[in-house]
Amino acid sequence: MTLIASAFLAIPAIADDEPKYGGTLTYMIPADAPPSFDGHRESTYATVHSVAPFYSVLIRVNPENPADITHFVCDLCTELPQPTDDGKTYAFKIRQDVKFHDGSPLTAADVAASYNKIIFPPNGQLSARSSNYLMVDKVEAPDPATVVFHLKFPTSAFLPALADPFNFIYKKEILDKDPRWYEKNILGSGPFKFVDYQVGQSIKGEKNTEYYLRGRPYLDGFTGIYADKQAVRVEAIRADRAAIEFRSWPIGRVHGYPLWDYDIEALGELLGEMEADKRRAVPGIGSDRADVVLAGIVVFQEVLRAAKADHIVVSGTGIREGIALEAVVHHLFETSRYSHGLPPSFAIRPKLLGFLDIVVLPLLRAAGQENHERFPVASEINPYPGPQLMRYSCTPAPTPLMFETLPRLSRAMPIVTFAAACRSR
């Protein structure tokens, strides 16, 4: 999504570059059609690559620096607010110069209605990301220029959840009449207006001349071409019938990325045609993998066939962390002694300590557990103990495990962290 935003708004890669206006961007969409147009319901490339240019969001990853996925900027808000009420209340001021493509003004009521649909979906409705907002108590719009999020507890996971690129802002009037209207229809306030959709073929948009970011977008329009076959997409780009496919990430680590069977097959064919020296030059392979990558692809294909699966999900965390987490969860939920909570102490590897510092310690303090300890220790639950492992402990034993899920940033990194709240029994 950040790549798409940068391309459609034509933000230059170098600050001194002068942007050029005009032209139509044609790009490939890796699907035959989106399951629906509703970004709140869906989580596929087919949806976000089709309709993201038509919509605005509350906040987003900075499109001028998409590699920094912790730097959020306003889209519809005027500035990022400082939380109040000990970190449990966020009040966003909404721009007053924004219009939907039908000419009606966008207000805080529309923002609140959209997030209420995402966080608290109506009965019978699906929300792909409602679990990202376990910390949210309620969302309200006290006036046309203010939307307020009330949290159950303070957490650093909240702003990343708001910045999910699928969090399109819909029109409250339409949602009140038909919450499913956006599954088959498009009406946003983004840089492009909807023009045409041909099932299985293409989707088109034209420049929104009343876009609230003055001077944007630079493009006159865009055309997204659907093609579920990798070979078709590659050939279209090679033949200059399309300029790009938006499926690469401006980040150093990919986590939660789905790799489909047809992509693996196409990758094997592409790399198999290369000499080893050329494979070494491919980003992400390097000299140490150029000789074994083809065998690795065969292994992946056989695993998929044996599992009768159509895709795998890439993990950016090592297998040791996974084994440790599995051991922790098993210890929590399978043993009788701690079947309803964490043991009095638990250990985790340093990669997750940042999340624990942000999430666990404030919860311990809020629960009056100022006597928690943090010290190096070898752990019986981690099969790879070492001097850098850290143990958190509290007395008495904590209440049930609380899971928090950081959202998918740039459609890449769903990260699950966990925290323990120590309370007296």
> CA-CA distance, 115 to 133, in Å (whole number)?
10
Most confident of 162-166, 170-174, 421-425: 170-174
pLDDT at 205 over 60: yes
Which range of residues forms the domain containing residue 216? 2-238
pLDDT tens figures, 88-124: 999 999 999 999 999 999 999 999 999 999 999 988 8
Does residue 392 sit in the same domain as residue 282?
A: no
What is the structure's pLDDT at 300? 82
pTM of the model: 0.60
The pLDDT confidence band at residue 152, using thresholds 50, 70 and 90, is very high
What is the structure's pLDDT at 414? 26
pLDDT at 334 over 90: no
Between 36 and 67, the more confident residue is 36
> CA-CA distance, 3 to 250, in Å (whole number)?
8
Does residue 56 sit in the same domain as residue 100?
A: yes
> CA-CA distance, 191 to 212, in Å (whole number)?
8
Q: Which contiguous run of DSSP H or E holds residue 332?
A: helix 319-334
What is the structure's pLDDT at 149? 98
State mean pLDDT over 297-313: 82
pLDDT tens figures, 308-317: 888 777 665 5
Please give, one letter per residue, the 3-state secondary structure of 247-278. Answer: CCCCCCCCCCEEEEHHHHHHHHHHHHCCCHHH
State mean pLDDT over 372-401: 32
- For the record, the structure tokens of 208 come out as 């929104």
Q: How many helices (H) and strands (E) does the chain have?
A: 11, 17
Does residue 388 sit in the same domain as residue 333?
A: yes
pLDDT tens figures, 41-60: 998 889 999 999 999 999 99
Q: What is the mean pLDDT of the chain?
A: 74
Count of domains for the chain: 3
Decide: residue 258, CB within 10 A, 0-12 exposed, 13-18 middle, 19+ buried.
middle
Does residue 270 sit in the same domain as residue 374?
A: no
Residue 164 lies in a domain: yes
Q: What is the domain-level CATH number for residue 119? A: 3.40.190.10
What is the structure's pLDDT at 384? 30
Residue 245 lies in a domain: no
Does residue 307 sit in the same domain as residue 327?
A: no
> CA angle at residue 328 from 323 to 332, to 5 degrees?
145
